[in-house]
């Protein structure tokens, strides 16, 4: 693959869409400003800009070339100023293939190449190449030589451990995802942005219509709206994680997922800093968990999670067999932990309830009729504080350390000593008197940023033990 190649001509379309997105705000602003007085001039100006955008997209595609030569991926691009980017095979951390709906119609894919220095975006991105060429490029850029790959037996792929999510589990993941809150937040933000474009008469007539419906019908409509949002949450999860498959090939994990946009993600196991399981308030009583990994370096493309999902949902008793199959060095994460001392419970209750306790006092003084509402919230926050105390803990196993904590979801994290970048012990005066301490552990996360795990109100002697473990002190 030493000859220069261009992207598929469909890249012109993707370039054009990108340019339109960047200029969308200016176009909308121009339309609002000139729609009455000089609308014809706006149309002429917009037409000229549209033609320039198309020409820019075509020239960007024509001037963009790539090739693999001397163990390097060499990319040349730029219309007026020619730029060259050389990426050595040794620097490449992962190569991901992403296929949107348009890509899949034309049997294309997008190749994202990440190095240790990648931050908010991939080091290099080939927007549109044939799927066969993308797969060939990924094989070519692997550190294992092509000769060694050709000498492998043809049935070697059958020995690669693999696991695929079932439709039933995918549906359960959607129904318990809790994404209704996210959808409500997006809807609220969208309505606030669109409010300035909607006439006031529309709001007045709509408000009068709602008042005329009556309380009962309003409640029914509200429940129907929540049901529709719940269904949208289920659909979003199933589209995102549809056909989720994880495969272990030598020293890498390959993840394929997505119904509309198909993604093939590569996770080098040497970049895994920690492995954890997450149990939400909805899934924990049902016995379901999500398995994830914290990955060092790499990029944070738009829409991706800060933690890499290794499997969206599984039964809690399936975690150990899963880890034994794919990451045996992290097995044992579900073993019993050393719990927090009982005298630490008052700190968790106070932190969870103090704000709502103040609000309850204010409402009791100002609006005593509605005192029942903050009391319910106060009881819920107190219960959450009890859960946080109950679920906190740690376990030290030779070179591994496991910690567990809860904010809303319960998280259990296992990490190796060599992955811990920083250790912090923190105490205030009350802690000293109670012989308690907080511990904070830091590892490298995505974009090279630190990822921190904090467990509060541990026994001071246990924190000192972890400090000795971290500092190699006997």
The tens digit of pLDDT for each residue in 333-391 reads: 888 899 999 999 999 999 999 998 898 888 888 888 878 888 899 999 999 999 999 99
In a domain, 183, yes or no: yes
How far is 246 from 243, CA to CA, in rounded Å? 10
Q: Tell whether 122 and 253 lie within a shared domain.
A: no
Q: Tell whether 138 and 24 lie within a shared domain.
A: yes
Question: What average pLDDT score do residues 156-165 get?
Answer: 77
In a domain, 160, yes or no: no
For 348-381, b/e burial (b = at least 16 CB within 10 A) is bbeebbeebeeebeebeeeeeeeeeebeeebeeb
Q: Tell whether 268 and 249 lie within a shared domain.
A: yes
Q: Which residue is it, tokens 């340019």? A: 19
- Domain interval for residue 110: 5-152
In a domain, 201, yes or no: yes
Q: Tell whether 256 and 288 lie within a shared domain.
A: yes
Q: Tell whether 38 and 121 lie within a shared domain.
A: yes
Q: Which of 88-92, 320-324, 344-348 has the lowest mean pLDDT?
A: 88-92
For the chain, percent of residues with pLDDT exceeding 70: 82
Q: Tell whether 17 and 99 lie within a shared domain.
A: yes
Half-sphere exposure of 273 (CA within 13 A, CB side): 23
Please classify residue 313 by burial: count the beta carbons closer than 10 Å to its beta carbon, then call 0-12 exposed, 13-18 middle and 19+ buried. Answer: buried
Question: What average pLDDT score do residues 53-75 get?
Answer: 89
Q: Tell whether 406 and 320 lie within a shared domain.
A: yes
Q: Tell whether 223 and 330 lie within a shared domain.
A: no
In a domain, 33, yes or no: yes
Other C-beta atoms lying within 10 Å of the C-beta of residue 255: 18
Q: Tell whether 443 and 301 lie within a shared domain.
A: yes
Q: Which residue is it, tokens 């809150």? A: 181
For the cut 90, the answer to whether the pLDDT of residue 312 exceeds it is yes
How many structural domains compose the chain? 4
Q: Which of 129-133, 146-150, 333-337, 405-409 has the lowest mean pLDDT?
A: 146-150
Half-sphere exposure of 110 (CA within 13 A, CB side): 19
In a domain, 159, yes or no: no
Q: Where are the beta strands (DSSP E) in 328-409?
A: 338-339, 393-397, 400-406
In a domain, 157, yes or no: no
Q: Tell whether 26 and 84 lie within a shared domain.
A: yes
Task: Among 223, 241, 259, identify where a domain stops.
Answer: 241
In a domain, 373, yes or no: yes
In a domain, 163, yes or no: no
For the cut 60, the answer to whether the pLDDT of residue 102 exceeds it is yes
Q: Where are the alpha helices (DSSP H) in 242-371?
A: 283-286, 319-326, 345-366
Q: Tell whether 41 and 16 lie within a shared domain.
A: yes
Our measurement of the distance from residue 159's CA atom to the centroid of its chain's CA atoms, rounded to an integer in Å, reads: 30
Short-list 127, 101, 100, CA closest to 9: 127
Q: Tell whether 328 and 367 lie within a shared domain.
A: no
pLDDT at site 373: 85
Task: Among 389, 416, 447, identify where a domain stops.
Answer: 389
For the cut 90, the answer to whether the pLDDT of residue 148 exceeds it is no
Average pLDDT, the chain: 83
Task: Among 356, 389, 422, identify where a domain stops.
Answer: 389
Q: Label residue 151 by pLDDT band (50, 70, 90).
A: very low
Q: Label residue 403 by pLDDT band (50, 70, 90).
A: very high
């Amino acid at each position: 693959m030493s000859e220069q190649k261009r992207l598929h001509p469909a890249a012109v379309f993707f370039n054009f869409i990108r340019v339109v997105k960047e200029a969308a705000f200016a176009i909308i602003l121009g339309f609002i400003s000139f729609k009455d007085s000089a609308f014809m001039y706006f149309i002429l100006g917009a037409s000229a800009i549209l033609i320039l955008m198309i020409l820019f997209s075509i020239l960007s595609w024509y001037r963009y070339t790539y090739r693999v030569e001397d163990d390097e991926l060499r990319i040349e691009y730029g219309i007026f100023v020619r730029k060259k980017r050389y990426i050595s095979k040794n620097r490449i951390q992962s190569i991901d293939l992403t296929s949107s709906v348009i890509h899949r119609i034309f049997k294309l894919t997008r190749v994202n190449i990440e190095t240790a220095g990648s931050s908010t975006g991939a080091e290099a991105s080939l927007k549109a190449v044939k799927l066969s060429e993308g797969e060939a490029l990924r094989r070519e850029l692997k550190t294992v030589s092509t000769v060694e790959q050709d000498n492998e037996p043809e049935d070697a792929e059958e020995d690669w451990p693999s696991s695929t999510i079932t439709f039933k589990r995918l549906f359960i993941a959607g129904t318990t995802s809790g994404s209704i809150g996210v959808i409500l937040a997006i809807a609220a933000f969208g309505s606030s942005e669109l409010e300035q474009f909607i006439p006031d008469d529309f709001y007045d007539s709509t408000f009068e219509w709602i008042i005329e419906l009556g309380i009962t019908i309003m409640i029914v409509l509200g429940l129907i709206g929540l049901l529709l949002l719940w269904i949208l949450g289920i659909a979003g999860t199933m589209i995102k994680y549809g056909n989720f498959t994880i495969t272990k090939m030598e020293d890498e994990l390959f993840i394929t997922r997505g119904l509309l946009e198909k993604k093939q993600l590569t996770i080098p196991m040497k970049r895994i800093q920690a492995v954890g399981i997450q149990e939400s308030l909805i899934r924990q009583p049902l016995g379901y968990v999500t398995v994830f990994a914290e990955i060092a370096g790499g990029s944070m493309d738009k829409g991706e999670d800060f933690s890499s999902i290794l499997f969206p949902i599984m039964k809690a008793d399936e975690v150990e067999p899963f880890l034994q199959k794919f990451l045996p060095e992290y097995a044992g994460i579900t073993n019993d932990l050393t719990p927090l001392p009982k005298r630490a419970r008052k700190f968790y209750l106070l932190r969870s309830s103090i704000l709502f306790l103040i609000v309850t006092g204010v409402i009791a003084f100002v609006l005593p009729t509605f005192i029942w509402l903050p009391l319910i919230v106060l009881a819920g926050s107190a219960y959450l504080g009890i859960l946080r105390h109950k679920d906190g803990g740690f376990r030290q196993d030779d070179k591994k350390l496991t910690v567990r904590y809860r904010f809303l979801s319960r998280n259990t994290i296992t990490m190796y000593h060599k992955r811990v970048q920083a250790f912090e012990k923190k105490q205030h005066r009350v802690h000293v008197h109670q012989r308690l301490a907080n511990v904070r552990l830091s590892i490298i996360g995505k974009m090279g940023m630190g990822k921190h795990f904090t467990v509060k109100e541990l026994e001071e002697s246990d924190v000192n033990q972890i400090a000795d473990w971290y500092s190699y002190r006997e």
